[in-house]
Amino acid sequence: MTVIAIIPAAGIGQRMEQDIPKQYLTLLGKTILELSVQALLADPRVKQVYVGLQQHDSYFPTLTLANDPRIIQVQGGASRAETVTNALLAAATTHADTTLVAVHDAARPGLSATFLAQLLAVAQQQPEQGALAAVPAWDTMKRKTASGQLTTVDRSELWHAFTPQVFQLGPLLRALQQAAAQGLQVTDEASAMELQGITPVLVAAEQQLRKITCPADLIMVQALMLAAQQELTLE
């Protein structure tokens, strides 16, 4: 079964408080975006990666991967959902509706080959449902209302949604387009599919797959990735 990937990389990462978009910050000798793209291409099932970029992105052309024939650049949108939709429309010109699409955040460089293989295997077994990386909520979770009232939420049913999230091209494209037409804001691909009555399979992910959002995340993810590398070396 053919697998392609999409990386929405049109954001500017304001919370990182840096002069350049966070996906172009350096981690372990490479940019965060390079690490994320290369992690996807390391799996032989992934044939192409569509990267959604800002219109005047001056950083991407300087990367070696910009010349990789497996990388296809697409115009990013005003939101993540719009960028992914643009990439899906581009992919639909050459790929079938049933093609599996792995959508992955540019700022999640800690994607291991072992976990990606596991996630794709689940998605291939249940392509109509799809699959997404997630980790259980371990801390005590609170809900605060607009009036300031605080209540504790049962964390046993809560998961943090990560990426990659893997769905069939056609159903995902239609789900995103319908959500946009109804004025619904979706923050990940799974939420768009859920609006269509689809229940994706949660696949427990590694902590190093967490998203880099603020400076502290950069330090933490780097430490987790280094620890994973050392563990592989010892094996």
Assign 17 a pLDDT band (cuts: 50, 70, 90): low
Please name which of 104, 86, 74, 93 lies closest in space to residue 180, comparing C-alpha atoms: 86
Q: What is the pLDDT of residue 235?
A: 56
Mean pLDDT of all residues in 81-91: 98
Tokens for 182, please give them.
Answer: 């109804």
Residue type, 199: T
Residue 82 backbone dihedrals phi, psi, to 5 degrees: -65, -40
182 Cβ neighbours under 8 A, 6+ residues apart: none
Tokens for 160, please give them.
Answer: 């943090």
Domains and CATH numbers, the chain: 3-140+157-234 (3.90.550.10)
Give burial (CB, 10 Å; 0-12/13-18/19+) of 50: buried
* Low-confidence winner among 106-115, 121-130, 206-215 (lowest mean pLDDT): 206-215
Collapsing DSSP states into helix, strand and coil, what is residue 152? strand
pTM for the model stands at 0.93
